[in-house]
Amino acid sequence: MSLSSSASSSPNVILPGETVAEGPVQQEFEIITSGLQAPPDGAPITKKKLTVDQLKKIEEGKASVAEIYHNKPVHVPRKYQLDLFEKAKMRNTIAVMDTGTGKTLIAVLVIKHVLAMENERRKSGGTKRLVFFLVPTVPLVFQQKDYMQHQIIGQVMPLCGELIGESFQRADWQKIVNEKDVICATPQILVHALNHAFISMDQISMLIFDEAHNATGDHPYAVLMKEHYRTTPPAQRPKIFGLTASPVNSAAQPERALAELEYLLHSTAITILINSEVRQYAARAKPHVVEYVRRSPSLPQPPLFQKLSAIQNRLLGLKKIVKDAKIMLNELGPWCCERNLWMSLESMQKSKERVMSLDMDAALKGSRMIADPVRQLLDECRHMYPAPVPAIDAISPKVATLIQLLESYQDDAAFCGIVFVQRRDTAERLGELLRGLPPLQRFLRVGVLMGHAIDDVYRMTMKMTEQFQTVREFRKGKLNLLVATKVAEEGLDIPACKLVVRFNLGRDSMNLVNYIQSRGRARARDAKFVLMREKDNEEHTIIVEDMRWREYEVRESLRTRSIKVEEVEREEMGWDAVSLAPPYKYIVDKTGATVTLTSALPILHHFVSTQERDQYTPPPRAEYSLMITPEGLWKASVMLPATVPVEGRFSVGKPMQSKALANRMAAYEAVKKLHQLGLLDDNLSPIVDTTRVKTKRSDEFLERQKEQEELNQLKGKKKKRHYPTKVPDLLLQPWAPVGNSPYIVAHLNVIDTTQFERAPVAQDFGFLTISPLPVSPLIFPIWPLMAEVNVRIVTSPTPVHLTVGQYAVLKRYHSLLMGALLKHFEGDAQQAYVVVPIRVGDSSRPMEFRATDPSYMINWELAQSAATFDPKAHRYRLRSEKALEFVVQDNGHWGRKYIPLEIVDKTPFDEVPFEDAKFKCAADYYTTKKNDRIRREKPLIKAKLVSRKVNMLAYYNIAQNEAVESKTAGEVFLIPQFCEVYPIPTSTMTGAAILPSVLYFVELIYKAHELRLKLDLPVELPQLLTAITAPSATMQFNYERYETLGDSFLKMALTLHLFANHPHRSEGLLSMYMSNLQSNHSLFKAATLKKMQGYVIATKLSRTTWKPIVVRDPNAEELQITEVTDGKDKASVTQLLSDKQVADTVEAILGACYDSRNIRGAAQALHNIYHEMFAVDWNDYYRLVRIDDGPVPPERQITVDKVQELFGYRFKHPRLLLEAFTHPTSANRSGVPCYQRLEFLGDAVLGFLAVRLFFYRHKELPPGRLVDLKDAAVNNAFLACVSANLGLHQHLEHFSSPLADAISDFCNELYRVAEQRKTGNTTTLLPDPSRAPKTKAEQKAMEEERKKEVQYWMDIEAPKAVSDIFEAMCGAIWLDSELDVEVVWDALQRTWLPWVNAYIQPHLVGRHPYREMAMMLRRQGCDEWRVPTKHDSTEGLFVANLIVHGEVVCLEYGTSRKSARKALAEMALEMVKEDPNLIKGRCNCVGVEAEEEEVGTPGAQELDIFRRVGGVGGGGEVAAVPIPAG
């Protein structure tokens, strides 16, 4: 049937009421085809075998043989396409054209025109805008994208839900706007983005609607136009171009339906007249009716069908299977019926097994204890399995008629056809039947094409791939017959067919669009369009005639009507109920995000789907309830899952005219409430964790943005930067008279040392500083000679007044003494301190300032003697015993200073016993150039080099110092000829070896003092000094233990802050906020804002790099030091720090402040360092928390009484206790929230108390072992064991049968294993501590030996809910006690601590798998790894990924983030054990070897040097609790 009965010699575009235009059409822009070049003239044609597709094109007249061989492009605009393109440039247009007439090419021409105009507009300062090509199905997204990217110059991007899901945010869309030009997408993607204000309509230059006839009702096309396009000011609206073969998709009058479509799309429908040019591309086939006889109901039914029909009510889901099989029996016959029954049963069995696989224990138990009815039924019916090839009597008459029709094409080598069916299972079974019949196998290659399921991401992706493959094979001729559903009717690039069959007729099977679209596939020469009509079926006859007549009406209406779009009043149209409802619209002012009755349901559904759950909780959903008002209207309410805060859980909508509208209104009110409570952001998106992870069901993996990648990363140890080292201001004060006074005012600091139990010994040197020491006396240990020596420095209470001359004398003495000890020394510069000689009495006892004037204590005679010392006047000493009284300077060896030991009566050429064997005599020790000047004179001076052991601040530096000393400090023999006397007595120089360590430590004390004042920190100086000292400084102490304590406090404080300030946030959101606030990146930023980097002590004291602080001239230009990031400038005023070291320092300071001033002190430090929003007085947080004081339901009073007795605590607010025992699945209507928020709170306080316990109990343990103990004491398995033994699970309020079974199984297994331990042959529970392992190998062996014996709960799968209620109880007690952690501790001593004392001991707990994995990665040299963890809503579990250099190595699931990471670590360690090159094959890092810890070795224990003086580690000892029997 043609579009018009009239024909003309050339096609013309027809507008309503417009005459036909003649003459050539002038194009503003030419179609770009330069990408495809034709061969040069005269080039030989290479003969090659033609494909079936090419033969079809030649036969149908679409291409010549020359075009095929030359590969000339066929997408050249035709005359009528150019005409329609010109019209589309001028106005919004709907192009109504038959399939095959080239609608898409017109769209490409329009896109090119719009892009060109947009380019000119941007040159004039306009903003970037996009073109959206919208298609109704996912396969069309990729098909149209592939077509367009070869036709236009610009960036084309496909977008659909399968690619991006719900994860795209505003930043992602803005990136697309900036980088792309054309977006090919499904319409829901754009509607979603507009609803959430990720993109606005004024950022779109054009909208193209493919298959525009779908724009009806609630289709996203219609929603897009009604709710977004029409609400946009006209000047900001994009152009519109619609494409369709049939603009009418309903039973309405064509004129009315066309008017509605034009009004909705704000466009004018345009068609083309049919002439000879158009006819060769448009559909030619006329409908042919083929009749068949209906299968007689009296024929026997298949045995399998009879059996299942008899028992269909006994098995859930079987009734639908039988119903579908009955349809199959009548349509296709007995063979297809039985085949469909069998496939459905197998599919049911696989689905059941897949559900059971989520809980393997339950699956195994079920296979042992309960017979599977589906599997049993399959076994019983095995003998009824259908034959591989259907018999003649097993085929319906309808199929037999189809076979006869197909057999008529058996001699056509170029045949291809499509059989359209209504149902997917019909397509599958009919395809199997046709493929299996031998007579058809000779000439038919049958494929099946249908849509993909939308309920399963994995299956959907596979189905989509199969769909593409099937279409591709059909185009290439590998398949020549498709059995297809309506998915093949529109859009897909399917070649012209010779036969198209509509297998099903009926009102539900075919409408006008189906009719026109499927007929459009029959475009080949002599093609047939066959309608299979049942004989004597009046309905089928009416449908066939109705389709023919309605198509004619539509075409005539397009050609002849004169009605204009503007004349069509909205009230006259058949608008849907939503459109007729009042204009409910909620707009977020800040972003413009919008929710309406149409968009409310998907927004609410998405929010609900993001709620976290465990594997025992059903997928969350919104529950709707309906009621009828007295006025006869419908009113709906919606209840959200229990994980949603109580305030936002229930919403009621306004009365509406229908049930559907009432539900929409309830969802609309719920979305408004969720946004107002802050549970939806200003883009109306759920506030969820955006961590991208790989799961078992999805291969989606995208890298985080740069800042997000820095969260929770431990790999920053190698990414270091140079920062200026902060010099304390008190040490930069100049040595100059103050005001009009002629004196320099300074303070004298005297030194005495104590070794072992001996009496203190005063040193004959001290030092002057302008300011007194921040702490006096200052006591600290050093290790000068392989033994600990305590140094005590006392500052004079009254200052010393120096004249300028006296200062010059003392400065000269300081230069002589320190210059002999240090390699780099600026003797002429003013320095922060001046070393001076001290008068020491005969008893060498420390002098008291109270009895002595500070000025008198300075040995002025010795200082003056050194300052005026003339070496020439003392040369006589070099040849006598007097040489032993002073240091000797050897000018023959670069002025080195030596301590003389003995005068030897030998000449330089006599043999003497050098420690270095290469020297035989003293002459050999000097350079050869001086041999001719060496005099044969006696004596020689036996001497040793002045000590180079600068760093004496840690005993593990001694071995290194001794190694350096042994190379250069051996005994030598000096020739007096080349020496001179140095003006420092030997005794003074020997003792002065400790000065660099002493002065360096003083600098650190000043630095800590300045930081304490700067940040107003409530902490003692020794603790603060420990907290700012990194391990890289190789001091006897470092911040690692404090960092562990501070980390646990920080988590507790942040948890409380979030809990109190975000009362409506769920546990999942609070955890996400926590991750950001507690991340190394956030801590680093906070420290940077406070300029704390310069105070971190990360550089080792070294003779080659350290020198006394130089005081700059105050009148000179200030030295500007900037952060160095390129690593090239390594001046001594900078130090190398990693971001993690800076972040760790913040946590360590919190730990030090807690050690000094408890919680109040640590809270003050957090307030001062991190942010002022954190409260110092935690009563401020308590006042923010709203606690429910409602009554306790009578049925739950027994829970309150028993639990209070168990924990030894009586609640002031008993409903807090009930909340701790309320599971998310609870059906209680008393308004008690679920325990998740309390569990979030309790996890933090329990973790802190556990770390505090082990910090003070095991003061000798390194921080890694503290973390191991803490993890062992608070992990899910241990807490579940404690909780079950306490019987807490008996009070858990829940409504989940799987959870009840899991708890029962866990408790039974826990009891069974515990009883076996009591009666079995086990070793002593607590072995002798002397058996503690000495090496890593012994430790691992013992861990494996005792794991099954001691920590017997570890191998039992524990439901997370059992451990959650214990943590929730901790949170409830903490909250009820007005945030008193000691009250929580009292409760833990009754319940938790006895178990810890019995089982969580250093010799019983091994290294945590996650830490083991981290060390393994460092040993393998990898520094670029991370472990993102996220809740997988599909599985109801958390999934953790190990990502090495951007590649997912492995993934594992767990009931919590911690358990998922632990399981992942165990898997990774096992994988590396099997494949040692697993990591190295992915890594290009320059690794750092991990330092192995050996239990019990001194090198692994960070000792506390301030323990003796009441500093770190003092106080807070936890009282022992008796160990329970057994």
Q: What is the mean pLDDT of residues 1240-1247?
A: 96
- pLDDT in the model for residue 1516: 32
Mean pLDDT computed over 1189-1195: 87
The confidence score (pLDDT) of residue 791 equals: 93
* pLDDT-derived band at 1388, boundaries 50, 70, 90: very high
Which amino acid does the sequence have at 754?
Answer: T
pLDDT of residue 530: 92
β-strands 239-244, 93-96 pairing:
parallel
HSE of 1207, CA atoms in CB hemisphere, 13 A: 27
**pLDDT classification of 1041: cutoffs 50, 70, 90:** very high
- Give the pLDDT score at 82: 84
| 1462 pLDDT higher than 90 | no
How confident is residue 147, by pLDDT bands cut at 50, 70 and 90? Answer: confident
**In this model, does residue 332 exceed pLDDT 50?**
yes
Q: What pLDDT is attached to residue 1395?
A: 92
In this prediction, residue 37 carries a pLDDT of: 33
369-381: average pLDDT: 64
CA distances, 205 to each of 158, 185, 235, 1029 (Å) = 17, 15, 11, 60
pLDDT at 719 over 80: no
| 417 three-state secondary structure | strand
Residue 1349: pLDDT band by 50, 70, 90 thresholds?
low
pLDDT in tens, 1425-1455: 888 887 776 666 778 888 887 788 888 887 7
Average pLDDT over residues 22-28: 38
Pick the more confident residue, 139 or 600.
Answer: 600
Rounded-to-integer distance, Cα 1291 and Cα 1205, Å: 13
Res 1511: pLDDT:
33
Region 63-69 average pLDDT: 38
Q: Are 784 and 994 in contact (CB under 8 A)?
A: yes
Q: Does residue 980 have a pLDDT over 90?
A: yes
Pair of tokens at residue 76: 């050249």
Strands 182-185 and 156-159: parallel
Peptide bond into 777 cis (omega under 30): yes
The pLDDT score that the predictor gives to residue 899 is 94
Cα dihedral across residues 210, 211, 217, 218: positive or negative:
negative
Note the pLDDT tens digit of each residue in 294-310.
Answer: 887 777 788 878 778 87
Q: Output 1412 or 651, whichever has higher pLDDT.
A: 651
pLDDT of residue 1402: 84
Annotate 900-917 with three-state secondary structure: EEEEECCCCCCECCCCCC
User: Residue range 1493-1515: average pLDDT?
Assistant: 31
Q: Return the SS3 of 531.
A: strand
Alpha carbon of residue 1234 to chain centroid: 27
Q: d(Cα 1006, Cα 1000) in Å, to the nearest integer?
A: 10
Q: Report pLDDT for 581.
A: 53
Q: Using CB atoms within 10 A of its CB, is residue 722 exposed (0-12), middle (13-18) or buried (19+)?
A: buried
The answer to whether 718 and 1141 have CB atoms below 8 angstroms apart is no
The whole-angstrom separation of Cα 614 and Cα 1296 is 11
Residue range 98-124: average pLDDT? 86
Higher pLDDT, 1251 or 690: 1251
Tell me the pLDDT tens digit for each residue of 662-686: 999 999 999 999 999 888 988 898 8
Mean pLDDT check: name the lowest of 165-169, 554-558, 1052-1056: 165-169
> Among 4-13, 816-825, 891-900, where is mean pLDDT lowest?
4-13
pLDDT of residue 963 exceeding 50, the answer is no
Give the separation between CA 1424 and CA 1482, rounded to whole angstroms: 10
**Average pLDDT of span 246-254:** 65
158 sits in which H/E element = strand 156-159
- What does the pLDDT look like over 863-884, one tens digit per residue? 999 999 999 999 999 999 999 9
pTM score: 0.69
Nearest to 711 by CA among 685, 691, 693, 738: 691
pLDDT band at residue 280 under the 50/70/90 scheme? low
Per-residue exposure over 9-44, b if at least 16 CB sit within 10 Å of its own CB, e if not = eebbbbbbeeeeeeeebeeeeebeeeeeeeeeeeee
Whether residue 939 has a cis bond before it, omega within 30° of 0: yes
Q: What are phi and psi of 903, to 5 degrees?
A: -95, 125
User: Mean pLDDT for the chain?
Assistant: 78
Closest CA to 1296 of 1216, 1215, 1361, 1203: 1361
Please tell me the predicted confidence (pLDDT) of residue 844.
Answer: 66
Kindly give the pairing relationship between strand 1425-1426 and strand 1429-1432.
unpaired
**Neighbouring-strand partners of residue 985:** 886
Name the least confident of 441-455, 592-606, 1266-1280, 1506-1520: 1506-1520
What average pLDDT score do residues 602-606 get? 89
Question: Two tokens at 328?
Answer: 């199959």
Amino acid at 1303: I
Instruction: For residues 775 and 1303, give the distance between their C-alpha atoms in angstroms, rounded to a whole number.
Output: 59
The pLDDT tens digits of the residues spanning 755-767 come to 877 788 888 899 9
pLDDT at 691: 52
Q: What is the pLDDT of residue 450?
A: 84
The pLDDT-based confidence of 1472 (bands split at 50, 70, 90) is: confident
pLDDT at 1494 over 60: no
What's the Cα-to-Cα distance from 81 to each of 64, 95, 109, 517, 777, rounded to whole Å?
A: 22, 10, 9, 20, 97
pLDDT at 1240 exceeding the cut of 70: yes
Mean pLDDT of all residues in 823-830: 81
For the residues 793-818, what does the mean pLDDT come to?
93
pLDDT of residue 1343: 57
pLDDT, tens digit, 9 for 90 and up, residues 833-864: 999 999 887 666 766 776 667 888 899 999 99
